[in-house]
């Protein structure tokens, strides 16, 4: 007679390799963002020095920078509507393909000889067009890829990885430009877009609610505008960043390389200064993996003030060590804003409308960039480089102070209790909902 069968051995459950909120889409999005940031941060520096090495001046650098940002104004709203209508990952992959081709052609022109200004502007504009369609789709995809109360931490970790790659890209780009010239950096950027596009082709969009058959593109744009304009905190902050991004963009794309060429020693130190900004964003992201400010937009807006510091440091100009320290501080501060901003969008905006709302955000925030970068050169010639940089710093302080007067910005609060789905809620916050919008 046989005894009882031995009890099956209990197995210790295997610990998940990644947090529950870090699903497949989140992982693919993070990996692809790392790859593109390694290439793009160096390529932005390379484009400016390609213009200077071909005999251009500050005005020409501004024109090329404007050519990149003008398509963001022209096509971002359409890109957002399309991203909510078509599978978002297909929009992202198509945009990456256009970026890859345009940057490869730019690299070939620089490596083969002296590129013409119109050629650099055209290819840069094509790259900007890809970005105009990519940004709303990517932001909507990322915001919808995380769940519940850990959304803020997820966004902080995503941005930590992205900005970490940006540090390497800016530093490596500056070194490669100094050693081999800007053409090779542009070629690396083209390859990075190809790799990232391959990653993004495997994203899963089955969780995004299916769109109804009614309405066309104009109806989608009107619906997105209604969502955007109905939230005072949303349109006031994006209006603020229309000015902030314009003056910071002019300082970084035009005035920074000029000061670097005159006082800092060229592309290498400027690339390292931008890398210090990237290091600051990593520090800010690390802070935000732990910190969950309740009045999140108030905290975030206060953290915009330090964006005036780099322009002031370039105006003095501070030596490289001082400039790097200022760039680090501003990087920490703006990353705090970035995480709370994404958390607010995740909390307040319906998932099926994220790309359209993000498109209005991107459009408003970049609307003045083409004008500011195009006028940066003439402004510098009219008023002087130092005076232009002090003006940039003063505008950042002014518009940020005005936004703090908006009650919804000061009072919108973080919700803490999870309910069905990925939205979170508790008692209604004192925000747009309380003001009837």
Report whether pLDDT(206) > 80. Answer: no
Q: What's the whole-model pTM score? A: 0.67
Q: What is the CA radius of gyration of the chain?
A: 23
**What rounded mean pLDDT belongs to the chain?**
80
Assign 160 a pLDDT band (cuts: 50, 70, 90): confident
For 17-46, the pLDDT digits (tens) are 555 656 788 888 888 888 888 888 788 888
Report whether pLDDT(403) > 90. Answer: yes
Q: Please, are residues 114 and 55 in contact by the beta-carbon 8 Å criterion?
A: yes
d(CA 61, CA 55): 10
End-to-end, the C-alpha distance of the chain in Å comes to 79
Report pLDDT for 327: 93
Report whether pLDDT(279) > 90. Answer: no
């Amino acid at each position: 007679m046989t005894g009882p069968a031995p009890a099956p051995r209990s197995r210790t459950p295997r610990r998940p390799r990644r947090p529950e909120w870090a699903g497949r889409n989140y992982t693919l999005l993070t990996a692809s963002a790392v790859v593109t940031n390694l290439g793009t941060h160096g390529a932005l520096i390379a484009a400016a020095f390609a213009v200077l090495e071909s005999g251009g001046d500050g005005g020409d650098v501004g024109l090329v920078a404007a050519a990149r940002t003008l398509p963001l104004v022209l096509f971002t709203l359409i890109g957002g509507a399309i991203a909510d209508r078509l599978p978002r990952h297909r929009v992202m992959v198509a945009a990456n393909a256009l970026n890859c081709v345009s940057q490869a052609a730019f690299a070939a022109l620089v490596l083969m000889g002296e590129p013409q200004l119109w050629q650099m502007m055209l290819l840069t504009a094509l790259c900007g067009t890809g970005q105009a369609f990519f940004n709303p789709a990517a932001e909507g995809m990322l915001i919808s890829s995380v769940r519940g109360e850990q959304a803020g931490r997820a966004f902080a970790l995503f941005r930590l990885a992205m900005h970490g790659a940006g540090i390497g890209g800016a530093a490596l780009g500056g070194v490669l430009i100094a050693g081999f010239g800007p053409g090779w950096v542009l070629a690396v950027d083209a390859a990075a877009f190809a790799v990232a596009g391959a990653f993004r082709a495997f994203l899963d969009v089955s969780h995004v609610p299916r769109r109804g058959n009614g309405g066309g593109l104009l109806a989608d744009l009107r619906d997105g505008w209604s969502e955007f304009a109905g939230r005072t905190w949303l349109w006031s902050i994006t209006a603020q960043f229309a000015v902030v991004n314009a003056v910071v963009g002019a300082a970084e794309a035009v005035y920074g390389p000029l000061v670097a060429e005159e006082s800092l020693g060229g592309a290498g130190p400027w690339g390292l200064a931008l890398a210090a900004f990237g290091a600051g964003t990593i520090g800010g992201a690390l802070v935000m993996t732990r910190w969950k400010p309740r009045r999140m937009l108030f905290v975030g807006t206060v953290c915009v003030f330090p964006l005036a510091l780099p322009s002031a440091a370039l105006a003095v100009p501070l030596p490289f060590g001082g400039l790097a320290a200022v760039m680090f501080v501003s990087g920490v501060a703006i990353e705090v804003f970035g995480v709370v901003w994404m958390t607010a969008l995740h909390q307040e905006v319906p998932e099926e409308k994220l790309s359209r709302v993000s498109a209005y955000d991107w459009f408003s925030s970049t609307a003045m960039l083409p004008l500011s970068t195009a006028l940066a050169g003439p402004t510098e010639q009219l008023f002087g480089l130092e005076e232009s940089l002090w003006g940039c710093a003063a505008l950042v302080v002014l518009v940020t102070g005005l936004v703090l007067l908006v009650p919804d910005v000061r009072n919108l609060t973080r919700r803490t209790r999870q309910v069905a789905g990925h939205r979170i809620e508790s008692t209604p916050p004192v925000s747009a909902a309380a003001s009837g919008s």
